[in-house]
Structure 1
Amino acid sequence: MARRCGRATSLLSGQIHFCSRSATKSAVWMCLCLLFRSAAEAGLYTATDQIISLTPDTVPSVLVNSTAVILVEFYASWCGHCISFSKTYKTLARDIKEWKPAVDLAAMDCAADVNRFTCGMFGIRGYPSIKLFRAYSKPESTGQILRGFPRDLQGLRHLIIDKLEKHEEPWPPACPPLEPASQAEIDSFFETNNVQHLALIFENVNSYVGREVTLDLLQFDNIAVRRVLNTEEGLITKLGVTEFPSCYLYYPGGNYTRLRVNIEARTFYSYALQRLPGVVRSGKPPPVKTELLQNNTEEPWKPFNRSRVYMADLESTLHYSLRSELAAYPSIRGAALNALKKYISVLKKYFPGRPMVMNLLWSADSWLQKQTGDAVSYEAFREILDNSEQLPDTALPEGLTWVGCQGSQPHFRRYPCGVWTLFHVLTVQAMNSSDPQEVLSAMRDYIGIFFGCRPCAEHFKTMAEESMAEVITTKMAVLWLWTIHNRVNNRLAGALSEDPNFPKIEWPSPELCSACHTVKENGDHKWNQEEVLPFFVSYYSKNTILTDYLEDESLILEKQREKHASEARKRVGRQAGEATGSMTNPLSTQPTAQEHEEEEDNEEEEEGPQDEAVVDEEARYVDGAEEMVSKTSESPWSKSDLGSRRQVHRKLSIVGIRMREQQEDIVDLDSFVNRHYKAKALRLAASSRVKQRTLQRKEEQEPAPVFGLGMELDGGLGMVGLQPLETHFNIDVGQPGKRLQKRELTGEYFGAEVEMSHRRRWMTALSIGFSKVDISLCVILYFLSFMCLLAMYLFFKNRLRLRRAKTALP
């Protein structure tokens, strides 16, 4: 609603003199305020009720110089009649929501200490009291008191219309004409108005349907509504009108057609007219055509049946809820942990998912129930969601595939739609539960704590606190959630979050369930709950959920296995990196001065720029080595040479070399080889005083034994052993600047190395990864074990000999 805030001095700033009250009355007032202090502070209306809560600070901006007519209720939160009337007032706010540019509702709690002076200034003496403030009210205006106002919805609605018709100038600018139209006006209507549709509602003089529909279409463009009385014989004869009320669509040139509705009543007229072609809400973009959405390359439109639920939406909701929304809480503790346990428990019991999804929910629930502490980490919970234990046929699909909840734009519908759909499905599946509030309480707690839209969460909690306690059966739980959902749709209708292709309406629509809609005796709309419940049970039944656009279970499980295998390789790489890093520290010998010199030179060379060709070659080399790791079963040295390689492991010792920090979780095999090769070069340099360059430089070093990386991992330490390369390893080092022509990994040794003594090979295989202290301790333990066994043997042998000697005596 558009407003202009006047800066004129209001009554609040003037000097106002009130008559003194008796001491007795003041004492009673203070006692009541103290007694009902919490109720006064809370009030009877919240932001979800679409009623403006007035305070002394907001009165000038809301009531003074407003472009709309404001209806204000002055109440006391401790007043029983006020509490009873609040339900009707809330319903009125929802019923005339579309009238807001012309009419708005407000309320002030006079029981609150901060409001008592203002209520007295407006002359409020009893509760509830209603005052009407006309458009463009002056600062000194105290409003028009409505004495004896009706206490029912229809009476209040008609009272507002009567006041609008009698409104003095200036007229509320947003309010359309409410007086009956004549034939002359209709004949020349399109000459002065640029609209696509003109709706004529024929009715009796005492009927309010035409004026109500006119105000209902107030916020929509390309349509106008006019009221025509049954006394306008010319139009009635021209259009052949025989029923009152009835609605006809009139077009230029005198063409017309009757608007077909299930029941000739206000609600059905309004719904049908708002969905005519070209009719859009003011300020909203027109709906996007399906053809344009299908041609969208970013995310093509998925054709779907609007009368069915899709499993893809439910699984996408679970993925976002469990993997994205919960991830905002690294540690889940206290009330949040209890809410999560309830949420997963309800999903396990009532979610109508595929077998692999149900297996995962059972696994997650079992894990949560075993957690006896006050907190769990999300990382641990995420491992359960990702099925790190690799339980068979257990997975929750990753990624989002919205079908029935897709929007015309990426920011429309999707996850909020999925949440509503999920909990509607759960309430229907839980109709045989012994606890009628089981699903609702889980939904309340989850949304209240984890739902990302915090204002939405607070609104839902407020609505749950108001009426959820009244739910005593599972059928009532289904209908309660339906009622709350419609209240939210009513509040969000016309908001920026509303998708033009999917307007917020009270659901189900007459197209989906015509039997769900009926009218009261006075013509007001009424929900036929006896038909709504069977419709919900059928619509959200697990037997009617469509499985279109779902990825095959076997593909999902295969992707999960590949993901776990990739993560396992990365973990092995990290362990190998940590093991190789530990070898950079000198163990027993100190580096010589020459080695210090070589280390400094090498560090300077490492900090310099590298040849791009060499870098590219090294990248290819690492890729090839990683491929060999993933295909160990096919490698030539994984079978016949396995025993011999285990016998020739050597204890690695690289002295005086500082390893560069590991940047990734992948083992850089080339760098590993280069570092060992550099160590050999350092040892040669120490004896020959000839400076050699590393493999990372353009020039190659002098021929020397080149070592490869054996891919076998030590089972106890997770270390990687270095092994010499093959004798046929060809490196052309004759000319400086030549590149390596062939680089490969192998498990064979040079002939000189194979000629080691059997004892040396045996000790090397035993001592890899162990220090001399470790070996000494093992020998001592074996010796002590042997001595213990020998002592036990001698003890029992002597005891048996003594027993035999005693039995031999006469």
Structure 2
Amino acid sequence: MARYCDRATSRFTGEIQVCPRKTATSAVWLCFYLLFPSAAQAGLYTTSDQIILLTSENVESVLVNSSVAMVVEFYASWCGHCIAFSPVYKSLARDIREWKPAVDLAAIDCAIEQNRGVCISYSIRGYPSIMLFPAYSKADSKGHSFKAFPRDVQGLRHMIIDELEANKEPWPPACPPLEPTIQAEIDSFFETNNVQHLAMIFEEVKSYIGREVTLDLLQFENIAVRRVLNTEEGLVTKLGVTEFPSCYLYYPGGNFTRLRVNIEARSFYSYALQRLPGVVRSGKPPPVTIDVLTNNTQEPWRPFNKSGVYMADLESTLHYSLRVEVAAYPVIKGKALISLKKYVAVLAKYFPGRPIVMNLLKSANSWVQNQTGDEISYEAFKEILDNSAQSPDAALPVGVRWVGCQGSQPHLRRYPCGVWTLFHVLTVQANNIKEVLSAMRNYVHIFFGCRPCAEHFENMAREIVTEVKTLSSAALWLWSRHNRVNNRLAGALSEDPNFPKIQWPSPEMCPACHTVKENGDHKWNQQQVLNFLLSHFSSSSILTDYLEDENNILEKQREKHASQRLVLEAPKRVERNPREALDSMMHLLPSQPTVQEEEEEVEEPQGEALTDEEEEGGEGAALDEMDGKTSEPITWAKPKLELNRSRWQARKKPSIVGMRMREVQEDIVDLDLFLNQHYKAKALQAAATNRVMQRTLQRKEEQEPRPVFSLGTELDTGLGMVGLQPVEADFEQNMGEQRKRLQKRELTGQYFDKESNHGGRLMLVLSIGFSKLDISLCVALYFLSCMCLLAMYLFFKNHLRLRRAKVALP
């Protein structure tokens, strides 16, 4: 895992011991192994320690005929001195990590029965033992034993250099020359070497700084390092060197300049030289310029302050962890459920987020903690994250927006950087360190997608029990382990050339954090580092640049829920029982005026005529909706001018013997029209009628084409409204024919055209005051009475015939 801090620091090799390692009692270790069974494993080293683990199967392939000089520790896992020496050997592996093309470290556990034969073959009789196998060693080589080797990193480092110089043949092909240079070589150096920079380190004879820096720059191109002793008077006089050690940069033509560093020491030289212009790691592409990043069309580059922490990165990390990584578990149960509860609880307590994000995290934490079952579904948890209940002012932004964690390529940095940043922020904000560290450890162990990364983190997290006691020690522990990961991944394919994985904070960011020991090795000032961490990751220092506006987030959330609700309700609307539609039709308003009545309204007196504006405010509103004049919901309330229209219609209707003509009502459902009348057919009839009225008023003038709307199948049961939806233009003709059929069916049995014949007029007079149902009942009763009379006639006729037959008998 990497984070944005990698971009601003050097790879200092000083090992930081947050707390002194204390010998634990057997009872404490037993409890620890019972609580964390994965921690109990054979051997003192793991693959995350950057040490090759030898076995009887791979020892020959690693040690025999290798192009790299191998330093091997033979140990027994039960040996107390081996256990005490293991942290030093791990530190040595991190310290000389850049030397790997020339020197590498390995270890083998002789306590394992399968490895005993290997240890015996190399005459190992005591533990720990260290041996160096030169490059291209033969199968029968026994190596060179380190007699009475030192128990500190610097002493071991110097011993390795001495062994390399003692074994000049065969020399590791990747190892540069370590002997001192002379003026003649420097004068002709650029004629035989194609490099951009030549660094000369002036030092005394017994100093190892020049050789160490030479090996530190072994994996970098466009730079060469040479050691110059203070006895080389020609170069010392030419460059005017007065301090030893000191570093000078030499260029073609005899130009030179002194390398400015805070402290004249190995780690400061290595850091400064690795960041010279044009110096890149071997096999890695050069850094991408800002112009190229800005012009990248895949994703816009967001300029940012490299020494800042961005809330956009933290929110993006929350989105990815909760919506992507946790989503890999459709059913969350067991240890995963416990881990999720701890993680969400820590976020709700200590995450320094915006109010809407904190409201969402608190809501999610309350829901998760209240789950008493053995498992939960991720879909249920996702509904809480998406705020499906629509809690006010609560939302977690969807998607990622990397700023401080963005990489020069889409696959570099980003989420791993965000995880480290989030963990650092939580450790600084927390007041219960065990709660935070436990939550981080469990989350990475269960949910983090990179399983090797999770394993490496777990290997480091085993030290929490013994090394972390206070809040300050927790922040320092996470910082030092993060630097350890950066050291391990330096030069890997996942390293961004624009943001190399180097120790942090850099001398530029925190000069007071760096110092040196008496022997010249780099040393961290832990108190200054702690002060820097508390300031850098405090809530007041988090930058809010590039954050999405809260109102936009809430609006997107509402729109998303509205669209999801429509999708879910659509099948239910389609499956509604037709009976519900028929029942809803019983509550409609009275039918709208017919075409003939509206034609008569055109001829009403000027004083009572309806203006265009009044029609738009009254029944004409439905037509306006059909013509696309407004997008507001349809209002089905009866307008005020409806009273004037009703009075005018009342005067135009005929009457017999003072009895007013009854309003025509539709009492029988025409099944032929059911498809058209489905879900409030009256609305379609009113719209069609008004459209006919509009055409009549325009006296058959050519009309402009208008958008056509169809009656949607969606029915809002709460408002009783039918949605009008636009249809294709080529469907207008069919709709017009459908409206004509509707008008003809409505006019049947009610009114006839003015040019109808006299017979039609007589039927019109006879049908005054009677509905279609009344006429139908009359016809039915007439038919039944006729049938009854016929039956009675046949009955009596047959009965009389029988009586006459009996009288005729003698």
TM over 0.5: yes
Map of 2:795 onto structure 1: none
Q: 1:179 to 1:389 in 2, by over 3 A?
A: same
1-structure distance, mates of 2:384, 2:270 = 51
SS in 2 for 1:504: coil
SS in 1 for 2:440: helix
1:252 Cα offset (Å): 0.3
2-structure distance, mates of 1:330, 1:220 = 46
Q: 1:72 to 1:722 in 2, by over 3 A?
A: closer
Q: 1:245 to 1:730 in 2, by over 3 A?
A: closer
SS in 1 for 2:576: helix
Instruction: Please say if 1:751 is aligned against 2:746.
Output: yes
SS in 1 for 2:411: coil
Alpha-carbon displacement from aligned partner over 1:373-427 (angstroms, at most 9, x marks no partner): 0111110111111111111111111111100000000000000000000110111
Structure-to-structure mapping, 1:88-167, within 5 angstroms: 88-167=88-167
SS in 1 for 2:320: helix
TM-score by length of 2: 0.71
2-structure distance, mates of 1:126, 1:649 = 109
Instruction: Please say if 1:463 is aligned against 2:460.
Output: yes
Counterpart contact for 1:576–1:720, Cα < 8 Å: no
SS in 2 for 1:298: coil
Map of 1:9 onto structure 2: none
Structure-to-structure mapping, 1:181-260, within 5 angstroms: 181-260=181-260
- Among 510, 513, 527, the alignment partner of 2:510 is 513
Q: 1:190 to 1:516 in 2, by over 3 A?
A: same
Counterpart contact for 1:134–1:143, Cα < 8 Å: yes
SS in 2 for 1:376: strand
Counterpart contact for 1:580–1:719, Cα < 8 Å: no
Instruction: Please say if 1:552 is aligned against 2:529.
Output: no
**Deviation larger for 167-176 or 201-210:** 167-176
Map of 1:577 onto structure 2: 574
- Whichever residue aligns with residue 715 of structure 2, its letter is E
Map of 2:44 onto structure 1: 44
Alpha-carbon displacement from aligned partner over 1:703-735 (angstroms, at most 9, x marks no partner): xxx9955643446xx999999xxxxx9999xxx
Alpha-carbon displacement from aligned partner over 1:476-498 (angstroms, at most 9, x marks no partner): 11001001100100000000000
Alpha-carbon displacement from aligned partner over 1:200-230 (angstroms, at most 9, x marks no partner): 0000000000000000000000000000000
- Whichever residue aligns with residue 275 of structure 1, its letter is R
2-structure distance, mates of 1:280, 1:60 = 34
1:38 Cα offset (Å): 11
Instruction: Indicate the RMSD between aligned Cα atoms, in angstroms.
Output: 3.8
1-structure distance, mates of 2:322, 2:485 = 24
1-structure distance, mates of 2:740, 2:510 = 72
Instruction: Please say if 1:561 is aligned against 2:564.
Output: no
2-structure distance, mates of 1:375, 1:399 = 27
Counterpart contact for 1:673–1:709, Cα < 8 Å: no
Q: 1:564 to 1:230 in 2, by over 3 A?
A: same
Q: 1:523 to 1:631 in 2, by over 3 A?
A: farther
1-structure distance, mates of 2:392, 2:135 = 69
1-structure distance, mates of 2:374, 2:504 = 41
Counterpart contact for 1:41–1:112, Cα < 8 Å: no
Structure of higher RCO (CA pairs closer than 8 Å, 6+ residues apart): 2
SS in 2 for 1:176: coil
SS in 1 for 2:238: helix
Instruction: Please say if 1:449 is aligned against 2:446.
Output: yes
Equivalenced residue count is 622
Larger radius of gyration: 2
Alpha-carbon displacement from aligned partner over 1:723-776 (angstroms, at most 9, x marks no partner): 9xxxxx9999xxxxx76668899999962699899999xxxxxxxxxxxxxxxx
1:511 Cα offset (Å): 1.0
Map of 1:80 onto structure 2: 80
2-structure distance, mates of 1:650, 1:343 = 65
1-structure distance, mates of 2:341, 2:130 = 48
Structure-to-structure mapping, 1:388-467, within 5 angstroms: 388-430=388-430, 433=431, 435-467=432-464
SS in 2 for 1:579: coil
SS in 1 for 2:433: coil
2-structure distance, mates of 1:276, 1:94 = 23
Map of 1:623 onto structure 2: none
SS in 1 for 2:484: helix
Counterpart contact for 1:310–1:545, Cα < 8 Å: yes
- Whichever residue aligns with residue 490 of structure 2, its letter is A
Structure-to-structure mapping, 1:374-385, within 5 angstroms: 374-385=374-385
2-structure distance, mates of 1:160, 1:582 = 92
Q: 1:54 to 1:524 in 2, by over 3 A?
A: same
Instruction: Please say if 1:474 is aligned against 2:471.
Output: yes
2-structure distance, mates of 1:139, 1:405 = 49
SS in 1 for 2:264: coil
Alpha-carbon displacement from aligned partner over 1:240-266 (angstroms, at most 9, x marks no partner): 100000000000000000000000000
Counterpart contact for 1:709–1:745, Cα < 8 Å: no
Alpha-carbon displacement from aligned partner over 1:408-463 (angstroms, at most 9, x marks no partner): 00000000000000110111111xx1x32211110000010000101101110111
Map of 2:632 onto structure 1: 634
Map of 1:712 onto structure 2: 715
Q: 1:633 to 1:58 in 2, by over 3 A?
A: same
1:514 Cα offset (Å): 0.9
Counterpart contact for 2:75–2:128, Cα < 8 Å: yes
2-structure distance, mates of 1:39, 1:485 = 20
Map of 1:522 onto structure 2: 519
- Whichever residue aligns with residue 475 of structure 1, its letter is S
Counterpart contact for 1:637–1:747, Cα < 8 Å: no
1:143 Cα offset (Å): 1.5
Counterpart contact for 1:673–1:708, Cα < 8 Å: no
1-structure distance, mates of 2:78, 2:289 = 53
Q: Can you give the 5+ residue segments of structure 2 that lack an aligned partner in the other structure?
A: 1-36, 581-624, 640-664, 685-708, 751-768, 774-810
**Deviation larger for 410-419 or 142-151:** 142-151
Map of 2:497 onto structure 1: 500
Map of 2:280 onto structure 1: 280
SS in 2 for 1:272: helix
- Whichever residue aligns with residue 444 of structure 1, its letter is R
Q: Can you give the 5+ residue segments of structure 1 that lack an aligned partner in the other structure?
A: 1-36, 584-626, 642-646, 658-668, 678-705, 724-728, 733-737, 761-810
Counterpart contact for 1:68–1:135, Cα < 8 Å: yes
SS in 2 for 1:130: strand
